């Protein structure tokens, strides 16, 4: 899995070069609020999906497909 601290410490220029999937994922996990659904790990190096059903239903875009999200996530390590 990609180290999210790299994304957090990157400059705006570097953030602009990240693929849209990774930018959206970072924003989704970093938003205050749905920590019971998804949040950063204790070390802030990974994220944890605490409630996969609610994550798919409320946070994933149009298709709400968790398997598709996982496949796309795996393309980034």
Q: Per-residue pLDDT for 14 more than 70?
A: no
Half-sphere exposure of 67 (CA within 13 A, CB side): 0
| Residues in Cβ contact with 3 at an 8 Å cutoff, skipping those fewer than 6 apart | 45
pLDDT digits (tens, 9 = 90+) for 19-41: 999 999 999 899 887 689 999 99
Structure token pair of residue 12? 């705006």
Domains of the chain: 4-74 (1.10.10.10)
pTM above 0.75, yes or no: no
Enumerate helices (H) and strands (E) in the chain, giving the number of each. Answer: 5, 2
What confidence category does residue 43 fall into, taking pLDDT thresholds of 50, 70 and 90?
A: very high
Phi, psi of 76 (to 5 degrees): -100, 5
Distance CA 45, CA 73 (A): 15
Predicted pLDDT at 71? 92
């Amino acid at each position: 899995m990609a180290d999210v601290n790299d994304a957090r410490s990157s400059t705006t220029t570097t953030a602009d070069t990240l693929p849209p999937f990774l930018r959206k994922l970072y924003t989704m996990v970093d938003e205050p609020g749905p920590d019971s659904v998804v949040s950063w790990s204790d070390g802030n190096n990974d994220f944890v999906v605490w409630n996969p059903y609610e994550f798919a239903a409320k946070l994933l875009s149009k298709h709400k497909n968790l398997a598709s999200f996982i496949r796309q996530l795996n393309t980034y390590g």
